[in-house]
Amino acid sequence: MSRTFRRGGPLLAGLAALLTTPAAHALDGGDVGGHPLTLDVTETAVLNYNFNNRNTRLAEPKTIVDDDWGVWNNRLNVQASWWRLTLGIRMDSSEFFHTPNPNALVDKYYPTKPAPLPGEVPMTDEEWQAYRETKLSEYGVELSNRYLNTIYPSKLYLTYAAPGLEATVGDLYAQMGRGLVLSVRKIDEIAVDTTIRGGKVTYKLPLPRGTKASVTALGGYLNPVRVDETSGRLLQAPAQWFFPGMPQPVETAYVHQPTANFVPDRIVGASAEGGVDALTVGVHGVELDRAPACAIYSSPEVCTPFLGNTGIRATDRVRNVSASLSVPDIGGHGSFYLEAASQQQRSDHPDPSEYDESSQWTPRSPEEDINGYAVYTSVSANAGPFALTVEGKHYRKFFPLLANVQMAGQGQVTEFQLLQYSAPPTTLPIWVDTESNNFNTCVTGGRARLDARVTDDLLVYGWVGRYATWGEHGPADCEIHDIYRNNVWDTAVGLEGLYDGKRSHVFAWVGARDDQVAALEDPTQDTGTTYYREGYVRYDLVKMLFDTWSVQVTGVARHRYDPAKYPVPYWEGENYAAIQWSPKLTVAAGYEYLTRNGEPHNYYNGSVKWRFNSDTSLRLFVGQQRGALRCLAGVCRQFPPFEGAKAEAVVRF
């Protein structure tokens, strides 16, 4: 522990010195060629130390090596603006310290030869030593792409913006339609920041007032953040000139011929939208190309060596196209949106003589090519105090664009398994995490929500969702059969109330989800038809005390039954209480819990956040948090349990 504080102390001292420096909204570079030059600098530094997170399972090496390690993550964003040009760069760095050592872990968990069980033949000294060597190798391989110091330019871009024209070279975000075709964006809440490194041009045609038309073309390589801050895992890609300085495979004492665990996908696409103010139509399309297979091309620096990948991740090319229709205002009392999309998954089908059979790689057969489609619609209507919103979807063999990461074998990076480049709408609230497996790839259903404005300060609402899915427990190729169908109801009621002159509020809602298998595959075995069931309550309460002081209580309590994974129902949830002195100080305490057998039940934490000004803040967190799947707008990621301390500083000049 002394080493930890020796490393962490100077870092915190440096952060404190940085935070006390006066901050401005932007640095003024004066006039250059008759145009002002401004520089915007944002620095985010996170010092993080992980203790024992209490998830240890001796049979799973990744749960052994994730305790007692520290990291200093740093993100430096610099953006310069002049005339119609904006130049930006983001440098990411991760410095790890006090990281696990394979030899120390073997000595900790396997110090002496165990006594044999009754009737068991005791291990010889040679067998015990060989067993320890096996464990040593497992831990060494698991650590071969974790906790490696990195510094790299994660984002680079130059943008030209003029009336009717915008062009970007470098890293860019892109969204087409409602995400069915393409959705590459930043989601800070779940630590997702994916861009396309290439080029994008948008041109708005000069048309008469009341009409509009624009076209967009883009192309490049997908560029996710390469370090998973919660696990210390790295995406290591082949060396490519358009990704200078990115993390690459590193030889270790346990991996002598390392290979990439990520190969950037190439994407090209275009979108056109036009119409009048009352009606907009659009067409959108992209093609995603994987790297060629190593078994065909003897160029391992540019191919994909991921033999264990299946489904869309093993497809050579994916094409998504869609057409959309939007009516933003219907007589002042409603709106309408409709998008229909198709998806083609295509792979090369080489003759067996064209690849090396010793590679254990088998080319996909023509029967594995898949054609899918999706239809999404949204309708809203309002009259008086009532507002109704209805969303519907009908998807068949329509998959999200999953990234080309290694999912099996040595070097796997399952922490990035949900990394994707499209987000087909779920029609449910953004925090819903109960659509398991391929739920959203083969589904028909929707949700209707009714809002009633009782008074200016009180809104009550309720929703009901109904879905039939063949992708949750059925095969991935979407077989429409009763034994694969799940019938799902999702309901909730809630209120949003304001008081104290709208300075205090009560937001609360209760809901339930019931997921039943339509028919048992073997009716003679009475295993029950419940696939998943949940009831929950969520709340957010703020009470103003006096002047700028307030208290806030927020949380969720969930009662869950997931018999396929856990035969006994369990509770999980979190409750946080905070006192705030706006806008400077927030002090919070949290309690999280999980009653599932075999896992820690209680988690406690506390945090303090101080805002020096609107652009500069410091947050300290100490304690525990449970592991959970967290979702936002159709994009999810699994967070491991945490126990430790974090210090996060954000400074903007």
Residue in 495, 382, 490, 493 with CA at minimum distance from that of residue 428: 490
Peptide bond into 583 cis (omega under 30): yes
Q: How are beta strands 195-204 and 211-223 bridged, if at all?
A: antiparallel
* Size of the chain in residues: 653
**Whole-number pLDDT of residue 558:** 97
Q: How are beta strands 602-613 and 585-594 bridged, if at all?
A: antiparallel
Rounded Cα distance between 73 and 530, Å, is 44
Residue 45 burial (CB < 10 Å; 0-12/13-18/19+)?
A: buried
User: What distances in angstroms separate CA 73 from CA 231, 416, 431, one per listed residue?
Assistant: 12, 18, 27
Residue in 418, 416, 409, 450 with CA at minimum distance from that of residue 437: 418
**Whole-number pLDDT of residue 6:** 36
Residue in 54, 247, 282 with CA at minimum distance from that of residue 175: 282
CB atoms < 10 A from the CB of 184, how many? 27
**Region 224-230: what's the mean pLDDT?**
94
Q: At residue 384, does pLDDT exceed 50?
A: yes
CB atoms < 10 A from the CB of 311, how many? 16
**Whole-number pLDDT of residue 12:** 46
Residue 489: both structure tokens together: 């109801």
Percentage above 90 pLDDT, the chain:
74
Using pLDDT thresholds of 50, 70 and 90, give the confidence band for residue 601. Answer: very high
Instruction: Write out the H or E segment, with its range, that includes residue 12.
Output: helix 2-19
Residue in 128, 102, 105 with CA at minimum distance from that of residue 115: 128
**Whole-number pLDDT of residue 622:** 98
**Whole-number pLDDT of residue 163:** 95
**Whole-number pLDDT of residue 27:** 67
**Whole-number pLDDT of residue 521:** 79
Residue in 241, 254, 224 with CA at minimum distance from that of residue 145: 254
- The SS3 assignment for 15 reads helix
Compute the Cα dihedral for 612, 614, 615, 619 and give only its sign: positive
What are the counts of helices (DSSP H) followed by strands (DSSP E) for the chain? 4, 33
Percentage above 70 pLDDT, the chain:
92
Residue 84: both structure tokens together: 């119609």
**Region 328-356: what's the mean pLDDT?**
87
Residue in 83, 136, 75 with CA at minimum distance from that of residue 108: 136
Residue 322 burial (CB < 10 Å; 0-12/13-18/19+)?
A: buried
CB atoms < 10 A from the CB of 10, how many? 10
Could you read off the pLDDT of 513-527 as tens digits, one per residue?
999 999 887 776 777
**Whole-number pLDDT of residue 161:** 97
Q: How are beta strands 635-639 and 85-97 bridged, if at all?
A: unpaired
CB atoms < 10 A from the CB of 422, how many? 26
Q: At residue 480, does pLDDT exceed 50?
A: yes
CB 39 within 8 A of CB 631: no
Residues in contact with 537: Cβ distance below 8 Å, sequence separation at least 6, in sequence order: 508, 509, 510, 511, 556, 557
Compute the Cα dihedral for 258, 259, 262, 265 and give only its sign: positive
Name the H helices within 36-146.
Answer: 61-64, 102-109, 125-142
Using pLDDT thresholds of 50, 70 and 90, give the confidence band for residue 409. Answer: confident
Using pLDDT thresholds of 50, 70 and 90, give the confidence band for residue 598. Answer: confident
Q: Who wins on pLDDT, 141 or 16?
A: 141
**Whole-number pLDDT of residue 360:** 61
Q: At residue 201, does pLDDT exceed 80?
A: yes
CB 122 within 8 A of CB 116: yes
Q: What is the model's pTM?
A: 0.91
- The SS3 assignment for 217 reads strand
Rounded Cα distance between 246 and 524, Å, is 56
CB 283 within 8 A of CB 250: no
Q: At residue 530, does pLDDT exceed 50?
A: yes
* Average of per-residue pLDDT values in the chain: 90
CB 159 within 8 A of CB 85: yes
Name the H helices within 67-116.
Answer: 102-109
**Whole-number pLDDT of residue 178:** 93
Buried b (16+ CB within 10 A) or exposed e, 529-548: eebbbbebbbbbbbebeeee
**Whole-number pLDDT of residue 8:** 43
- The SS3 assignment for 425 reads coil
Rounded Cα distance between 50 and 48, Å, is 7
Using pLDDT thresholds of 50, 70 and 90, give the confidence band for residue 645. Answer: very high
Q: 339: which strand partners? A: 324, 376
**Whole-number pLDDT of residue 296:** 57
Using pLDDT thresholds of 50, 70 and 90, give the confidence band for residue 115. Answer: confident
Rounded Cα distance between 210 and 230, Å, is 49
Using pLDDT thresholds of 50, 70 and 90, give the confidence band for residue 430. Answer: confident
- CA-derived radius of gyration, the chain: 27
Lowest mean pLDDT among 232-246, 353-367, 470-484, 485-499: 353-367
Rounded Cα distance between 607 and 600, Å, is 21
Amino acid at residue number 361: W
